[in-house]
A and B are shown apart, each in its own frame.
Chain A
Amino acid sequence: MKILTLTLVCVATAAFAKPAKPAEDFLSFPVPNGPFLLPAMTGTFEDATVADLIESYSEATGQYCIMDEETRSYAHSYKISSAKSKELSIPPDQLQVTFEHILASHGFVLDLLSTAEPRLIGIQSLNSSRRARVKAGAKFITESQIEEAAKHPAMYFNTVIHLPGVNTRQVTNALRAMFPDPMAASILPAGELPSVVLTASGPHLRELQALLREIRAEKQRADEAAASAQDKLPSDAGGTDEEGD
């Protein structure tokens, strides 16, 4: 009997102590070994708040989540869902994106403060007095990383999109309406350079990138059409001259 007990203890040690898959950069997050269940401690899912979710996520992934007092009180006051189901079960590989979707839908932003162990995650409410610091924590990504960043709806990024030949001041003025909260997201022209600087959440950046690519393609088509029309002009003009002579 003692040996069986010892065996169970040892098996449990091996099962629970196994670390989650290590993450390498600010776009990679640990993946837990099993399905993520919420709530673990609050009884039923309909009672679970964003604070419960954050606590369970922190335990499941081995990361430390930190919040200022104002953000914490918001996290305790928002219920995740009014659904009557007993629990929320999330597959391990979907945990990060689901967690961030729930955070973002309740107005919380995630800022990865440390990629090395111990991994630290700052969580900030967009309703709090420190909301302006959201842009301070935005990480730079290249245009090619936007697709990966789109899987992080609660994270904010800076990126630069090149728009050769496009009047970037006009474009940024026209698109400013797509940034209803300038404290959290923005679009800026890079001076006289044919580039714009975007600060926004991952999915928002992807939408903006698609739009700007369309503008870039439209400009290219217009330039090609103008060049083609220009090519025709000299021969027409030449013919007229000959006729005149």
Chain B
Amino acid sequence: MRPYSVIAVVACFTFVVGCESRPPVSDSVVLPAEATVGDMVSLWMEQAPDTLPKGLVWDSEAEHVAGRSLGLSEPMVLQVSSVPRVAHALLLWADLVVVTGPAEKTLYLVHLAHSDQGVRVDSDSLLDGELADAAYVTVTRTCPGEGTAYAGIINLATAMDVKCSGREELVLTGAAGRLKELLRTIAAF
């Protein structure tokens, strides 16, 4: 066998290995480095409209955040299937939550969303990570220590932008991603 043939075989093999290690590019989209929060939301609405069947609108206060840069270090390549999850993570980073109403979903600044706007969920689905990070939800939980741990929980909840009411039976409302961490902490009391 001629040396060039051997080289060609090695070249083909390494090329195949190289290609296999790259993620498939067919169903991916690119978010530019200079993208804003609003660009991310537009991308979500374009690429995954089935996850927003009744549409997504901005609350007037939240709309001011739309023009804020996401601050990406480089253009982000993401699979279309991961767009809603990434959008939720980036929205929460920008202190926005997705409130599900009877009609459409609305983006609110997390501290301006009202506690009665949270969708009631059970804590198991929250702890299992089944809910998207920025989804605005409400869970109830018995306060440990027969209500005596209330003050500590209020402090923790406030730091996480979670609204807390009730004393022996806590009603907690906030972004799913943060509520999950709060519930896990309370469970360890």
Query: Main SS of chain B's interface residues?
Result: helix
| Residue from B8, B93, B156 in contact with A158 in the complex, judged by beta carbons closer than 8 Å | B156
B-binding segment of A36-44, A87-95, A193-201: A193-201
| Residue from B7, B12, B73, B159 in contact with A66 in the complex, judged by beta carbons closer than 8 Å | B73
Contacts of A4 in B (CB 8 A): 7
Interface flags, B147-161, vs A, CB<8A=1, else 0: 111111001100111
Contacts of B78 in A (CB 8 A): 118
Interface residue tally of chain A, by bracket? 35 or more
B185 near A160: Cβ-Cβ < 8 Å: yes
B73 near A189: Cβ-Cβ < 8 Å: no
Contacts of A132 in B (CB 8 A): 159
B185 near A54: Cβ-Cβ < 8 Å: no
Contacts of B79 in A (CB 8 A): 117
A17 near B181: Cβ-Cβ < 8 Å: no
Query: Main SS of chain A's interface residues?
Result: mixed
B7 near A7: Cβ-Cβ < 8 Å: yes
Which residues of chain A from 1 to 57 have a CB within 8 Å of any chain B CB? 3-4, 6-7, 9-11, 13-19, 54-55
Measured CB to CB, the closest approach of chain B to A188, in angstroms, equals 4
Measured CB to CB, the closest approach of chain A to B44, in angstroms, equals 15
The interface size of chain B toward A, counting residues with CB under 8 Å, comes to: 54
* A58 adjacent to chain B (CB < 8 Å): yes
* A106 adjacent to chain B (CB < 8 Å): no
Contacts of A3 in B (CB 8 A): 4, 7-8, 11
A67 near B71: Cβ-Cβ < 8 Å: yes
A-binding segment of B84-92, B97-105, B117-125: B84-92
How many angstroms from the CA of A73 to the CA of B122 in the assembled complex? 42
B86 near A118: Cβ-Cβ < 8 Å: yes
How many angstroms from the CA of A19 to the CA of B21 in the assembled complex? 6
* A71 adjacent to chain B (CB < 8 Å): yes
How many angstroms from the CA of A69 to the CA of B185 in the assembled complex? 32
* B112 adjacent to chain A (CB < 8 Å): no
A186 near B155: Cβ-Cβ < 8 Å: yes
A122 near B21: Cβ-Cβ < 8 Å: no
* B39 adjacent to chain A (CB < 8 Å): no
Which residues of chain B from 7 to 33 have a CB within 8 Å of any chain A CB? 7-8, 10-12, 14-15, 17-19, 21-23
CB within 8 Å for A55 and B74 given contacts A190-B145, A192-B148:
yes
How many angstroms from the CA of A113 to the CA of B177 in the assembled complex? 9
CB within 8 Å for A66 and B4 given contacts A14-B15, A17-B21, A190-B152:
no
| Residue from B69, B133, B159, B188 in contact with A199 in the complex, judged by beta carbons closer than 8 Å | B159
With A67-B73, A114-B89, A186-B155 already in contact, 9 other A-B pairs whose C-beta atoms are closer than 8 Å: A6-B8, A14-B15, A18-B18, A58-B73, A64-B72, A116-B82, A118-B76, A138-B159, A195-B189
* CB-CB nearest 6 A-B residue pairs: A191-B148, A13-B18, A191-B149, A192-B148, A14-B18, A160-B188
